[in-house]
Structure 1
Amino acid sequence: MTKAPFSHALVTGASSGIGESIAHKLGKAGVGMVLVARRKDRLEAIAAQYPNVEVLAADLTTDAGLGAVLERLRDTTRPVIDLVVNNAGFGTSGPFVAADPERLSREIALNITA
């Protein structure tokens, strides 16, 4: 595999699906990572497979979760993040009139705001 043009990536939604696949691809390429998702145990299982990986359990639909990610990005004592994979997201299906307004708010917060 060719050397990546970046050294450290932050991957949101890294605990499953596309985010997990991207994390594995980056890890195999030797890229240092900060893995972000709500499920810490799943992030730790991925992180254990590669060197130079940080786990950041955070709910990006909350101010606290977003704040934790921003704090890490601004931390000059740690490696600089030079790639962000903003992958976290989820969807709602079914008739719109039957949708739970709170769930829709969380969906918008994650898919658009975060």
Structure 2
Amino acid sequence: MRKAFIRNIAEVEWKEFPAHHGGALSKPLVAADNSDARLIDHRISCYQPMAYVERHAHKVQEQVYHVLEGEGLMEIAGEKRVVRRHDVIFIPPGIEHAISNTGLVDLVFLVITTPMTDE
């Protein structure tokens, strides 16, 4: 039987995942390694000024980014656009993308990914 839970964000440690640089930190709030989740990965990320994730694409994963604070530069399929509070970004599988904090304060955003079968 799968297990439900309530977890406070403060219970989860910040991590700098591979290909993330300069203070591009994330808290994996719901992930395969800390829950019974099979079809979703939910993180909150906090990128310090000049932090970024390298350009990459996922084979089968869909992703949603939801910017909560700050501003940065989102690159999707070679096109760059400023993103800021309340912007929601959808990335289908196979599309190269990257995000960086080009602002003056921390860039804070949610990342929701499904399924978690490739990386």
**Who wins on radius of gyration, i.e. which is larger?**
1
Same fold judged by TM-score > 0.5? no
Flag the structure with higher helix content.
1
Flag the structure with higher strand content.
2
TM-score by structure 2 length? 0.23
TM-score by structure 1 length? 0.24
